[in-house]
A and B are shown apart, each in its own frame.
Chain A
Amino acid sequence: MSIITNINKVFDHRIRLGIMSVLVVNENADFKTLKELLGATDGNLASHTKALEKAEYILVEKQFIGRKPNTTYTATKLGQSAFKKHINALEQLIKNT
């Protein structure tokens, strides 16, 4: 088995890694918080959260606070373990070379 097996294609982007990093150490985060932490634009962040949602790595919850829509993101169990695997794989790659 090659050591690259565990490198996850879904995480092959800075913003996606960033989103998962925030969500594994926090119960949840809303759109605005993610945007500020990662320095991403609205459209950019939206497309990456959609990709992670499609992989079932994060849960998206939409609700209204007053009249403003508010979207919160939570990491799923699957997402957390996939992220952990990915990081271990990165570490292995760096160690072995």
Chain B
Amino acid sequence: MSNEDYLKDLSEIKNIMNKSSRFISLSGLSGILAGIYALIGATVAYYIVTNSSRGYLILDGQIFNICAGILIAVAVLSIVTGIILTTRKAKKNGEKIWDKSSKRLLFSFLTPLIAGGIYILIILWQGKYGQTGGLMLIFYGLALVSASKHSIGDIKYLGLTEIALGLVAALFPGYGFWLWVIGFGIMHIIYGSIMHFKYDVNQ
């Protein structure tokens, strides 16, 4: 065998390792859209809270329910967009949407996320809501880092960024809202654009 053959062997080995263990059809565009939904939701919530009689958020009452509703709407919209765009991209790549690698990806992503979600609900129920923004960022970041082994490596850095922002939010709970806006809004748009131009546009 010549050198070129060996080189071809090595690149094929790498290719097969990636293809067999990672689900790479994540759509960058869905990240951008999720960021935009988060920014719109945050703007509406900010407007409602600052125009309310108190001017800040407390745990009970109508305003809190509206904000929780906005949060759920943002989450649901982001998930639905993500599923639709990722399915489309997987089809284009000839990758199966529901195989061993996507199952593993989902499992490692959802484990920290669901644990965090339940934890946040529990402390909200206990009336401790000052840390909610930070906790959401931290658990979401952990979910991304844990999922990155089974998908595009880039989402690890988004995860680390979210964790850092979450820890800052824990130190300065007063800025929780703004750090949430940066983490879920702006960072999604930035990383989504990077992924979109790196993987989607050229192919």
Residues of chain A having any CB pair with chain B under 8 Å: 12, 14, 17-18, 21-22, 24-26, 29, 33, 37-38, 87, 90-91, 93-94, 97
Partner of B7 from A21, A22, A94 at Cβ < 8 Å = A94
- Which interface class (under 10, 10 to 19, 20 to 34, 35 or more) fits B? 10 to 19
B19 at the interface (CB under 8 A from A): yes
Say yes or no: A18-B12 contact (C-beta < 8 A), given A29-B20, A94-B3.
Answer: yes
Say yes or no: A93-B6 contact (C-beta < 8 A), given A21-B20, A26-B21.
Answer: yes
Smallest Cβ-Cβ distance to B7: which chain A residue: A94
Does the CB pair A22–B20 fall under 8 Å?
yes
Point out the residues of chain B lying under 8 angstroms from A90, CB to CB. 6, 9-10
Point out the residues of chain B lying under 8 angstroms from A21, CB to CB. 12-13, 16-17, 20
Does the CB pair A87–B13 fall under 8 Å?
yes
How far is A93 from B9 in the complex, measured between Cα atoms in Å? 12
How far is the CB of A72 from the nearest CB of chain B, in Å? Answer: 12
| Cβ < 8 Å to A, chain B residues 165-187 | none
- The binding surface of chain A is classed by DSSP as helix
Partner of B10 from A12, A33, A87 at Cβ < 8 Å = A87
Partner of B6 from A18, A29, A94 at Cβ < 8 Å = A94
How far is A21 from B6 in the complex, measured between Cα atoms in Å? 15
Does the CB pair A17–B3 fall under 8 Å?
no
Point out the residues of chain B lying under 8 angstroms from A18, CB to CB. 12-13, 16
Listed by A's residue number, 29 A-B pairs whose Cβ atoms lie within 8 Å are: A12-B1, A14-B9, A14-B12, A17-B9, A17-B13, A18-B12, A18-B16, A21-B12, A21-B16, A21-B17, A21-B20, A22-B16, A22-B17, A22-B20, A24-B17, A25-B17, A25-B20, A26-B20, A26-B21, A33-B20, A33-B100, A37-B16, A37-B19, A37-B20, A38-B16, A90-B6, A90-B10, A91-B10, A97-B3
Point out the residues of chain B lying under 8 angstroms from A25, CB to CB. 17, 20-21
Point out the residues of chain B lying under 8 angstroms from A12, CB to CB. 1
How far is the CB of A4 from the nearest CB of chain B, in Å? Answer: 11
How far is the CB of B11 from the nearest CB of chain A, in Å? Answer: 11
Task: Please encode chain B, from 1 to 39, with 1 for each CB lying within 8 Å of some chain A CB and 0 for all others.
Answer: 101001101101100110111000000000000000000
Point out the residues of chain A lying under 8 angstroms from B20, CB to CB. 21-22, 25-26, 29, 33, 37
How far is A91 from B10 in the complex, measured between Cα atoms in Å? 8
Smallest Cβ-Cβ distance to B21: which chain A residue: A25
